[in-house]
Structure 1
Amino acid sequence: MIREYLVYLKNKNPFLLYLWSNNQKQKGIKSLNKISDNEAIVKLYKDYSGKKPNLENPSTFSEKLQWLKLNYHNELTTICADKYEVRSYLEQKGYANLLNEALAVYEDVKELNIANLPEKFIIKATHGSGWNLICTNKKKINWFIWKKIMHIWLTNNIFWPGREWPYKNMKPRLIVEAFLTDKSGQLMDYKFFCFNGKPYFIQANKGRDTLNHAQNFYDLDWNIQPFGKDLKPRPDIEIEPPIQLKEMTKIAEDLSSDFPFVRVDFYEVEEKIIFGEMTFYPKSGLPDFTPSEYDQILGDLLQLPNSNNDE
């Protein structure tokens, strides 16, 4: 509960977010300069869980994701993890209608022209994870500190600390998208966990960035599952399925067909499906399932490809 409260404070206070972001960047640079990819992955995993991952014969979900970082270097993962380039992937697959409106793309914070933007919008680092600003009133944003935060984003790289390969050579940019909301008054996202091109589970969050955050997993028929990821399941909190659940499932299967594992995220706005993102290593693939035995249960669902590490 203390950890959740600290995360809540960091996410609500731009100055604390700036300090945290800069600290994470410096730690990443230090890691990149001092240790190899294998050593960095083992250190990250051990620091989090207290044990080393088995990278020679991985069996759990978290171990297999670490193996994929080191051995599965499919260039398409870089395109799909990039929040700007993935748009072309969806267009090629025939899903241009699922894309949220892009208002602008910047390579430098100095290019950011707030006056030309609407009152509400979303800014995302295209090469990041969780590097977002949800703006509901641009007049109330402290742009001085937020531009400093975004500068850190543009000079940071997710590859450095966790060695998530798709991000290694990704071009840093900021994308501004149209503000979205749904009938919940927030924006529910539905995260489809897809193993070898087949969706199995959906993660749904309610009350994100609050102290009463619920995160539940459901099967494809929307039956709540007895496990969570980082947070314990909350069967006491009802999360309604999206109206377009079956269509989302079908699209997630199609989009994930090229990969051993990927999480495909959607929103639903006025019964319309909006694509969110594709994530290849949720929480950098660390073992955060609760109960912990589900790390093995989900690991059994993931069949690893032959190594194609040609670096």
Structure 2
Amino acid sequence: MKYKELIKNQETRIKLLGLLDFLPDRLMIHLQYFIKMGKKLNLKSPKRFNEKIQWYKLYYRDPLMTKCADKYSVREYVSAKGYDSILIPLYGLYSRGEEINFQSLPKKFVLKTTNGSHTNIICKDKEKLDKNKTIMTLNQWVKKRTAKLGREWAYYNIEPKIICEMLLEDNDNEFEGINDYKFVCINGKAEIVWIDIDRYEDHKRNFYDLEWKYLNIKSDVQNYNGVIKKPNKLQEMKEIAEDLAEDFPQVRVDLYLINDKIYFGELTFYLLSGYEKFYPDYFDYQLGEKFILPEKIK
């Protein structure tokens, strides 16, 4: 069902989902899966990776996941693993936009909420930044709790805050912005890596195995048809990803490689919210076969 064609405005879709907050998670997940995937959800004996992500939302509720889904508190987890050096420098933590002292910030920075997705403000010149609009936008994001939209339990109990980080820039990158390396880890082992490029211009995504062999997999983002060279620290990034993933049955570890230095991005527990149509379809089963579901934690 092409629901995005029926309701094209994202804000409208979010509002409609908000009206269904009263529905129990299990019922809502069944409903969303049918609408987005066009098929019934099998929770009793899930085979597809997407199905197992839905099971994961409902039946594996480890408090450590909430800590690590929080973009601020995850820093403590990464540090405890011995990876202080890959944390993006932090300029500030705030409860509301009005607390930000823009005068004390450098010329360039990034503002983001600790519980959101796509809630980032990239500032390349603070003298040109509309500070009042920025404060208003951040406050709106802090008030907006979107975790229940996809019934992603790990985000339910995050206290929304605002963080300010150093802006990562890669002037030598052949693509726009910075490359985002995403390691899909299952039972502590990296299985595949995908790279997102041209994130804010003409977003593209390619999938690779752990030796950087191209996988002919498509998702909701178009593929890049050219050659993307193998990162020279791929093995080190893989080892870091697996260290950070070892406490979880399934997690995606996002890393950046800029000027030969690795930076930590985030940990994501519900890969594409479990509503991603892979092409070819058998990839959903292949990845699902690797994801051995744990004992329930409720």
Does structure 1 retain, via aligned residues, the 8 Å contact 2:88–2:166? yes
Does structure 2 retain, via aligned residues, the 8 Å contact 1:158–1:164? no
Q: What SS is found at the alignment partner of 2:43?
A: coil
Q: CA deviation at 1:28?
A: 4.6
Q: What SS is found at the alignment partner of 1:133?
A: strand
Q: CA deviation at 1:195?
A: 0.9
Residue 275 of structure 1 is matched in structure 2 by: 264
Count residues in correspondence.
Answer: 290
Residue 287 of structure 1 is matched in structure 2 by: 276
Q: CA deviation at 1:228?
A: 2.4
1:225-266 CA-to-partner distances (Å, cap 9, x unmatched) read 0102213533x2222222211100011111111111100011
Aligned residue runs from structure 1 range 220-239, under 5 A: 220-234=210-224, 236-239=225-228
Give yes or no for the alignment of 1:35 onto 2:26. Answer: no
Distance 2:113 2:231 in 1: 27
Q: CA deviation at 1:51?
A: 1.9
Q: CA deviation at 1:224?
A: 0.5
Q: 1:265 aligns with which of 245, 248, 254?
A: 254
Amino acid at match of 2:211: D
Amino acid at match of 1:80: C
Q: CA deviation at 1:278?
A: 0.4
Residue 129 of structure 2 is matched in structure 1 by: 141
Q: 2:179 aligns with which of 165, 178, 188?
A: 188
Does structure 2 retain, via aligned residues, the 8 Å contact 1:232–1:290? no
Q: What SS is found at the alignment partner of 1:290?
A: coil
Does structure 2 retain, via aligned residues, the 8 Å contact 1:231–1:290? no
Distance 1:109 1:43 in 2: 36
Give yes or no for the alignment of 1:198 onto 2:189. Answer: yes
Give yes or no for the alignment of 1:208 onto 2:215. Answer: no
Give yes or no for the alignment of 1:243 onto 2:256. Answer: no
Q: What SS is found at the alignment partner of 1:180?
A: coil
Q: CA deviation at 1:144?
A: 3.5
Distance 1:83 1:247 in 2: 23
Residue 208 of structure 2 is matched in structure 1 by: 218
Amino acid at match of 2:162: L
Q: What SS is found at the alignment partner of 1:277?
A: strand
Residue 7 of structure 1 is matched in structure 2 by: none
Residue 104 of structure 1 is matched in structure 2 by: 92
Distance 1:223 1:246 in 2: 14
Q: CA deviation at 1:155?
A: 1.2
Distance 2:89 2:180 in 1: 17
Give yes or no for the alignment of 1:91 onto 2:82. Answer: no
Q: CA deviation at 1:297?
A: 1.4
1:168-215 CA-to-partner distances (Å, cap 9, x unmatched) read 11110111000111221621110000011100111102212223x321
Distance 1:41 1:295 in 2: 18
TM-score, normalised by the number of residues in structure 2: 0.91
Aligned residue runs from structure 1 range 18-167, under 5 A: 20=10, 23=12, 26-32=15-21, 34-167=22-155
Residue 169 of structure 1 is matched in structure 2 by: 157
Of stretches 273-282 and 179-188 in structure 1, the one that deviates more from structure 2 is: 179-188
Q: CA deviation at 1:116?
A: 2.0
Structure 1: segments with no counterpart, 5+ residues: 5-9, 11-18
Distance 1:190 1:70 in 2: 28
Amino acid at match of 2:195: A
1:266-295 CA-to-partner distances (Å, cap 9, x unmatched) read 111211110010001122111321222211
Distance 1:174 1:25 in 2: 21
Residue 14 of structure 1 is matched in structure 2 by: none
Does structure 1 retain, via aligned residues, the 8 Å contact 2:42–2:51? yes
Does structure 2 retain, via aligned residues, the 8 Å contact 1:25–1:152? no
Distance 1:136 1:46 in 2: 42
TM-score, normalised by the number of residues in structure 1: 0.87
Does structure 2 retain, via aligned residues, the 8 Å contact 1:102–1:177? yes
Does structure 1 retain, via aligned residues, the 8 Å contact 2:185–2:242? yes
